[in-house]
Amino acid sequence: MRRTLRLFCLFALLVTATVAHADIAEQRRRLPPPPENGCTDPIAGDWQSQFWTRGSWLVRTLRLRRVTPGAPQLNGVELVEAWYGPHTVESRPTCAPGSSIGWYLGESTLSGSFDGARIDVQAAPFQLRSILCGAFSSYSPDHFRGTLESAGTELHTRNDDGRNPETTVVFRRVSCVDGSTAPSPPPPPTPFVAPPPPRAEEGCASYLPGR
């Protein structure tokens, strides 16, 4: 019985490691490249992820700053863009009038620490900034713990928001505090708004453009 249990535990660990590795590789594929010239501070700057969970896409940017130069304490802001969509479609949705697709923007302030290798940052309650399409329900504050990887260009974190199961989230550095930046994804398209129908002149059956 004990031998069977040990074999089962070993199999479970192997499966978990394989799934985690595949998840990290999948997330990496979607991320922009890091700054070409590197950054002077190993943690201060902008870090971006694109992650799918429970029917939603999340593009999250951690804008991290040191409280004082060289100090382990961090603060900053987490920018969130989220929309409902299938796992197989990474692009942002088309937002037509009356669409039920939930697509919104928001942010949270961040506080935490970085000891030279490990990071621990907690987000404050989420602040909704804009609903581009559909409706907004709720967003639980993120809590990221992880390590620097890939020669300091990536953060591999575990997120525990206190509500959903822990998830592995990969962030890649996209800018430095000194302003050197890497190419970023294009901004979200302007939500579609149907133009008003042309108006007819009184007593005339034809339409005049621009009226």
- Mean pLDDT, residues 167-178 taken together: 92
- Mean pLDDT, residues 72-84 taken together: 96
Residue 169 resides in a domain: yes
Radius of gyration, alpha carbons of the chain = 22
Residue 16 resides in a domain: no
Residue 204 resides in a domain: no
Q: Which of 9-13, 54-58, 81-85, 178-182 has the lowest mean pLDDT?
A: 9-13
Whole domain around residue 130: which residue ranges?
34-176
CATH number of the structural domain spanning residue 58: 2.40.128
Kind of pairing between the strands at 127-133 and 118-123? unpaired
**Widest distance between CA atoms in the chain:** 92
Which position has the token pair 């992880």? 146
Residue 8 resides in a domain: no
Distance between CA 175 and CA 92 in Å, rounded?
Answer: 23
Encode pLDDT of 186-198 as tens digits: 445 444 444 455 4
Residue 53 resides in a domain: yes
Residue 138 resides in a domain: yes
Residue 83 resides in a domain: yes
Arithmetic mean of pLDDT over the chain: 80
Residue 140 resides in a domain: yes
What is the number of domains present in the chain? 1
In this prediction, residue 165 has a pLDDT band, given cuts at 50, 70 and 90, of confident
